[in-house]
Chains A and B, each alone.
Chain A
């Protein structure tokens, strides 16, 4: 294995290959920053270019773009409340309030550090688990998927903001919206109102763009002159952000573990890991102002977000089952070059596994360094007049919404969700639970029905599997811990 690692790494660090690593990293970074354009889009666009390349160069180009996208998406999440990719949604919750306080640099510094270290952590775990990958991945089935979704939904109560009922309303609304479209198992076309567009359900990217970005742009133009409330920025923020990750290192480790575990479950991936990690940070913190600009919110979301790439590689490379849309494109890229995931890859082509892992590590380090270096300049955007920023972001979000599927319906969805998001913002209803409900609702419903089909209608399937029992325990801990914490606080405050 050491020989393969050495061979893989030496292949990356040749000039002819390293240049593609730089190119992929830069493109991934740009795609991450642009709202709506996700890692899978960037990689899909790069695939035709890889035809003409040597297999190793092609793999390096694709892997570097995949590694760079995730952090790039956090920059717009922090600066404009506009997640560059859906995986960065939870970064908005505290990243943007920090920008409003003139601490965008601190948030970018924390995001860059948590992203780079999170990715390295995730990939190290992947390397350590190479011998056991098959067993780990095959241990998950629909009952576990269902319970992971429920675990994510328990976060709703923790992120409800100042109005508990308002938060629950948003969560239920999100869950309801996730049921729009064709039922995953039955034949019903639900709440489509004779619109073919809605058969596929509500697309996540335009909904996310609308609820955060467009709503925020309306709000900025109506109420604010600059994003940074004071019109000033805190100096030296980048290093404060970097330091904050080490000050909260235990939280970083826990959230990275969450990222790896959820990333390893095929079909769930980054959309879920950042919410679960964020919820974990909220529920386990003794104090703090989550949602109002707590740096731990950024650390939790970004560490899980990047470590999940390592986790997602496990099913991708070991079984050929993509753990996320990006890894699905990666598999296509590998197969185009005659490399098939599975047992053969881990015996004869182990050095290729290390090429991918090494590229992801270097790409993450490079993109985070780039973000940290540019962060002090990027944060100046928050002091620009909103009359300049808002229309540009609005157009970028509308173009981004369209570009994902080349469907004008997505533009309308983004706009409608923008209005809904503004209403929620105006009437103090947290928007976070709505997105959590929307992301996890479909996953929960589909796997609930599939599990019951597997068991012939018996609910015992959720309680009889070892991993399910672990998840049930986690759910109970997540639900009960806030009450225990509250009861502890009451006597001390008295």
Chain B
């Protein structure tokens, strides 16, 4: 049996969630201040919504810090009482990816950051080179380095998608994709 504490400073597995709600709370307070400068008609709905949001997020934060209160105010309040999930089971076991990812070690966190980094790279490439060049470039590099498909398979998959992309969006739809910052 695990011993219950009244006050629970979030550990590594809860720190991300705690930071997420803290960010939401700070954001809603900032927006309340911002909204107070609008005309009465303009601020009515935002203020009602933002105050509600801030209160709910505060409750969630309290629920994380004081698990006994969290258990009372939310269905899933008592995070300490959640069963541990083995990372090797992945999502297949639970379909709640966050929990699995949250409980995993630094390797899991690194994988998360790497994936987000790749996604960010796609955005950066599109901005720098424009869609027409960035799309095949990103896809080829991703298949080659992240997916490790090998040179030939990566080329085939990239070429296949590029033909589809070119045919649908450029040939049929005549979408005018912007050029990138570099070319």
Contacts and interface: CB of A to CB of B under 8 A. Distances in A.
B148 to A, nearest CB: 8
B173 A403 contact: yes
Tell me if B's interface is mostly helix, strand, loop or mixed: helix
B119 A229 contact: no
Interface string B43-78: 101100110110011011001000000000111110
Contacts of A406: 175-176, 178
Interface string B143-174: 10011010000000100010001001100010
Nearest to B142: A391
Interface residues of A, number: 65
B129 interface: no
Interface in A151-174: 162-166, 168-169, 172-173
A441 B44 CA distance: 13
Given A388-B157, A391-B143, A229 B95 contact: yes
A476 B92 CA distance: 39
Interface in A194-242: 214, 217-219, 221-225, 229-230
Contacts, number: 181
B169 A403 contact: yes
B149 to A, nearest CB: 8
Interface string B119-148: 110110011000100010011001100110
A399 B169 contact: yes
A441 B45 CA distance: 9
B35 A190 contact: yes
B160 to A, nearest CB: 9
Contacts of B75: 162-164
Contacts of A448: 45
A121 B138 CA distance: 46
Contacts of A186: 38-39, 41-42
Contacts of A217: 119
B181 to A, nearest CB: 11
Tell me if A's interface is mostly helix, strand, loop or mixed: helix
B91 A412 contact: no
B46 A395 contact: no
A229 B91 contact: yes
Contacts of A417: none
A395 B138 contact: yes
A402 B177 contact: yes
B20 interface: yes
Nearest to B175: A403
Given A224-B92, A428-B76, A169 B41 contact: no
A425 B76 contact: no
A448 B41 CA distance: 11
A418 interface: yes
Contact of A169 (B60, B101, B146): B60
A16 to B, nearest CB: 23
Given A165-B56, A391-B139, A391-B142, A218 B49 contact: no
A53 interface: no
Interface stretch (A103-111, A175-183, A312-320, A459-467): A175-183
Nearest to A162: B76
A408 B126 CA distance: 10
Interface in A415-456: 415, 418-419, 422-423, 425-428, 441, 445, 448-449
A394 B96 CA distance: 21
Interface string B75-93: 1110000000000001110
B31 A191 contact: yes
A344 interface: no
A222 B176 CA distance: 33
Contacts of A388: 143, 147, 149, 157
Contact of B139 (A225, A395, A425): A395
B115 interface: yes
A7 interface: no
B115 to A, nearest CB: 4
A392 interface: yes
B26 interface: no
B152 to A, nearest CB: 14
A64 B161 CA distance: 28
A489 to B, nearest CB: 15
A163 B16 contact: no
Contact of B76 (A163, A173, A395): A163
Contacts of B146: 387
Interface of A: 30, 34, 37, 45, 97, 100, 162-166, 168-169, 172-173, 175-176, 179, 183, 185-188, 190-191, 214, 217-219, 221-225, 229-230, 292, 385, 387-388, 391-392, 394-395, 398-399, 402-403, 406, 408, 411-412, 415, 418-419, 422-423, 425-428, 441, 445, 448-449
Given A183-B42, A218-B119, A398-B122, 17 more contacts: A34-B168, A163-B76, A165-B63, A166-B76, A172-B56, A183-B38, A186-B41, A187-B39, A217-B119, A223-B97, A229-B95, A292-B95, A388-B147, A398-B123, A399-B135, A427-B17, A428-B76
22 contacts: A30-B168, A165-B60, A165-B77, A168-B52, A176-B50, A183-B41, A188-B39, A188-B43, A190-B35, A222-B101, A223-B90, A223-B97, A224-B92, A229-B95, A292-B95, A388-B147, A394-B122, A395-B122, A418-B119, A427-B98, A428-B96, A448-B45
